[in-house]
Amino acid sequence: MNRPEKEQFEHWAEKIWQSDRRAFDSLFRSMYSQLVNFAATYTHEKSSAADIVQDSFISLWQNRTSIDPGQSLKAYLYRIVRNRSLNYLRNRSSEIAQSDIIVEERLQTAEEVNSNEKADELSEKFSEWIEQLPERQQEAFELSRFEGLNHEEIASVMDVSPKTVNNHIVAALKQLRSLYEEYSGKSSHT
């Protein structure tokens, strides 16, 4: 995966602050798919994730002049997408029946199974274990490991201190390690 680097984000942030539409488009093109997948880790389906990411970009553009230039644009984007995803989940839980959403989730799960058939057992295990982590640990770990954010950025996305992010990730690693040892112990005995 070809991910834009820090300098690129700084460049975009400056250009967008000056209302440069091309910089905005370029940021959108490089981040859209990644952010849709990130939002989908909360919403568990793609269409609402896509809506959330589009809304977030619109909000970024509308607030472009009030964005703190010292702040990481990447963290800023992840932060709005995360907040909007959590809002979306809160609204959705206020609905009593969720039949349509459940159907979508089921479809996705079937897809998931198909695409994962080829993936080896260990990588499946890891994703299972990560899913089992306490919510905040899981978020911090995924933002670090899969979204490539540094601790300071994760801290601003999750609205906690970098120290807390560090603690979450240490705790996550510890738990993953013990699950892994238990698993490899079992499989070597059989």
Partner 1 sequence: MKNQNKHNHNEADLEDVLSQFADEERAGAKDIWQKSKKAARREDIVSEKEVDEALENVHFRIEQEKRSRNQGSSISGFILSNARYLVAAVALIILGFGFLFVPKTVTVPNAEIAEIKLPDGSSVELNSGSTLQYNRLFAFTNRDITLNGEAYFSVEEGEDPFIVEANGSATEVTGTEFNVRSWADDPAVETTITVTEGSVQFYPVDNSSKIVSLQAGQTSRLNIEMGSPAQPTASSEEHLAWRDNRLVFQQSPLIVILHDLERSFDVEIELDVEDMEYETLTAYYNQPANVETILEDICTVKGLRFTKTTSGYRIFK
Please list every residue from 80 through 99 that binds partner 1, using CB under 8 A: 87-88, 91-92, 94-97
- Computed on alpha carbons and rounded to an integer, the radius of gyration of the chain in Å comes to 18
Rounded distance between C-alpha atoms, residue 61 and residue 28, angstroms = 11
Q: Which is nearer to partner 1, 17 or 180 (CB)?
A: 180
Rounded distance between C-alpha atoms, residue 52 and residue 45, angstroms = 11
Copy the structure tokens of residue 49: 């994730």
Dihedral (C-alpha) 112, 117, 119, 125: value to the nearest 10 degrees?
70
DSSP state of 98: -
> Binding of partner 1 at residue 63 (CB under 8 A)?
no
The residue whose two tokens read 């080829």 is 118
Q: Which is nearer to partner 1, 14 or 33 (CB)?
A: 33
Identify the residue among 18, 19, 25, 182 touching partner 1 (CB under 8 A): 25
Contact set with partner 1 (CB under 8 A): 2, 5-6, 25, 28-29, 32-33, 36-37, 40, 46, 49-51, 53-55, 57-58, 61-62, 87-88, 91-92, 94-97, 108, 111-112, 115-116, 119, 122-124, 126-127, 130, 141, 144-146, 148-151, 166, 169-170, 173-174, 176-177, 180
